[in-house]
Amino acid sequence: MTAVITKPDTTEKLRILADDAQYDLACACGTRTGEHRKRSADGRWIYPVTLPNGGTSVLFRTLLSNVCSNDCKYCPLRENQDLRRCSLTIDETCRVFLDYFRQKKVFGLFLSSGVIGTPDQTMDRLNGIAETLRRKYQFRGYIHLKIIPGSAPAAVEKAVSLATAVSLNIETPGDAYLSQLSAKKEFIKDIIEPIKRISSLTAKGAPYQRVKQTTQFIVGAADEPDDKIVRYMQGLYKRLGLQRIYFSAYQKGLGAPDLPAENKQTNPADILTREHRLYQVDFLMRKYGFEDSDIEFDPTGRLSLDKDPKELWAQNHPDFFPININRATRYQLLRVPGLGPITVNRILNSRTISRFNRIDDIGKPGKLLQKAAQYISF
């Protein structure tokens, strides 16, 4: 029988919800110190994040509740698990967040939750917190709200009207994979249709075009191939105009015994490398002009764990290289391993004044320029 805490105080609730927040491993593959989440001295989670507009900041991130009526097999908070359950009230959440905000410890709020009863009941609470902060406390800062799958259009629109950014996790690349993770969720009705609704509300010229929309894939839980994820990424960016796509590597041992990922021998380091490769692909699609058809996969549809996708593309397209650095277009320069958008912009600006005659003319010698040298001519 599930243990339910009926009247814990705020401190105890925060401790429980902070413990359960550890199961979100988005961006766990970060390699720089500032990319990793950390736990504050009083047991709450503070997240350094990259915002949808490209900036970075620190958010106060919490679950409103770890109560959940969903059956997602990858999630340790799913229904019928023997856990200590609790929920924060609207007033508790606002008070705790504003205390951190006024001390200048955080920039904004990232609010998510388990499903308390129904999706609409949960959205009513999430929206209630955002509305209280906006109306009662006149908070004009950053609020990111998670949209619960299956929420009604009216609840989705209200969240969009109150938030700075919203996200609804797509979870898997299609119904065939979602059906392996949940018997309750319908991929089109509960996930894709609300994502499309958000897109229509936030598109250029729409009433809430200022609001950023993101989503997230759960990587590895349903044993889905990478090429399926990348194909969905193309559609989410090109057709629906999302600002960012995130990836969360499934943590083996936390899900149901019949989950596909639980029955495969997988090195934990490999799943984090796979997550990292998907982030590299995401950057290529957003910043380098790559299409899904440009990404190289092995015969099983997987990304290489040994080589980054840009370098692999270059090695498989020898006819494209070398390119003349003094005449190449921006598109061509961005295809060179070792050259990123900042370096390419510097090359394009500098060559209007003078020619490049050797690799040292580009910048300070280093591993990246050494890598680029084999793909360019002067």
- Exposed/middle/buried for residue 17 (C-beta within 10 Å: 0-12, 13-18, 19+): buried
Backbone angles phi, psi at 110, to 5 degrees: -120, 115
Instruction: For the chain, give every residue range classified as CATH 1.10.150.
Output: 317-377
The CATH label, of 1.10.150, 1.10.1790, 1.25.40, 1.10.3470, for the domain at 317-377 is 1.10.150
Every domain of the chain with CATH number 3.20.20.70 lies at 10-289
CATH topology for 10-289 is TIM Barrel (3.20.20)
Tell me the pLDDT of the chain (378 aa) as tens digits: 344 434 567 777 777 776 665 555 444 334 344 444 444 444 444 555 555 555 566 888 888 898 999 999 998 888 888 888 888 899 999 998 999 899 888 889 999 999 999 999 999 999 999 999 999 999 999 999 999 999 999 999 999 999 999 999 999 999 999 999 999 999 999 999 999 999 999 999 999 999 999 999 999 999 999 999 999 999 999 999 999 999 999 888 888 888 888 887 677 788 889 999 999 999 999 999 999 999 999 999 999 999 999 999 999 999 999 999 999 999 999 999 999 999 999 999 999 899 988 888 888 777 888 888 899 999
Q: What is the dihedral of CA 294, 297, 299, 300, to 10 degrees?
A: -130
> How far, in Å, CA of 290 to CA of 284, rounded?
6
